[in-house]
Amino acid sequence: MTASFRPLFIGAAAASLMAALPVRAETHEASYEFRWGGLLIGESDVRLTTDEDSYKIETTFRTRGLLSLFSKGESRASATGDILPDGTLAPDRYVSEGRWGGDDYRRMIRYDDTGRVAGIEQDWPEEWLKDDKREPVPEDQQTGPDPLSLLVAAVSGATLPGGVESDRVWRSFEGRSVIDFRVRCLDGMDEVPESRHSPIAGEAVACGLTSEIVAGKPIETEKERKKREKREAKELAAKDRGHDDERDGTLEGDLRGLRLWLQRDEVAGLWLPIRARMRSGWGTVRMIMVASEVSDSGAESVASR
């Protein structure tokens, strides 16, 4: 399963970022393309619907072009929950499902009123579980928010996710592992140029996103551990040699991991990732926003749909 090509929008969240969700009923939609060496290899759509007291976010990803020849697949994920009077998010349900390489998979997490996991339903291919064994996660660490609820909080913040010139860390449990997401955003603006693939451009803030598994870590053999360490050392050496070009902007060199360019949409009240750059086994993959739209979603409670 080529997880490195799934949508990588997960920024971070904290209470200080959760107070700016729209109180009116709105739907925000964005579409993205993933490109490797200019070639289209994936497409993704994100849909966020909010009203006064609930939210729902849905994402999809589909392989395209050359990538489909090696690993054809599609994935869908969604999260629903309540928006409390103080603006914080209370997740209710998280679902991740799809079909990769001919195998179907599905995972659903339900949360209780305290934010703890009330139940997990998982249907994964036995081969995946065999190839990706994990250490058990302590029960007291099996709590919300889920990754998509983190995304809702992050993009709706009045301030930058991660702050300026500083690292901030947020934690999420995604069903098998507890992950810390570390975000750093630089002071000032990058001028993101128009692309032949998208007219969306302009001033944006450059941020770096890294992640670390803190519980539910992979169970590796000595051979697998050495192979992973060798791969990570090779990626670090490539960066030090300057192989990561800067065609997406004037990003400073002290950002690590996934590179994001966030643009503020004052009408929608969101920080929108308009570009991203990430490393993969194939090389550098670029994410490009190709469309964005805001519409009135009506008064129906979105979490009940």
- At residue 45, does pLDDT exceed 70? yes
Number of domains in the chain: 1
Single-letter code of the amino acid located at 160:
L
In a domain, 240, yes or no: yes
Taking all residues of the chain, what is their mean pLDDT, rounded to a whole number? 80
Q: How confident is the model at residue 287 (pLDDT cuts 50, 70, 90)?
A: very high
Does residue 286 fall inside a structural domain?
yes
Give the span between the Cα atoms of 228 and 19, in whole angstroms. 40
Name the residue range of residue 18's domain: 3-291
Q: Is residue 129 part of a domain?
A: yes
Alpha-carbon gap, residue 183 to 13, rounded angstroms: 10
- pTM for this model (two decimals): 0.81
218-267 pLDDT, tens per residue?
A: 998 888 888 878 877 776 665 544 444 444 444 444 556 788 899 988 77
Q: Let me know if residue 108 belongs to a domain.
A: yes
In a domain? residue 141:
yes
Structure tokens at 238: 């490539």
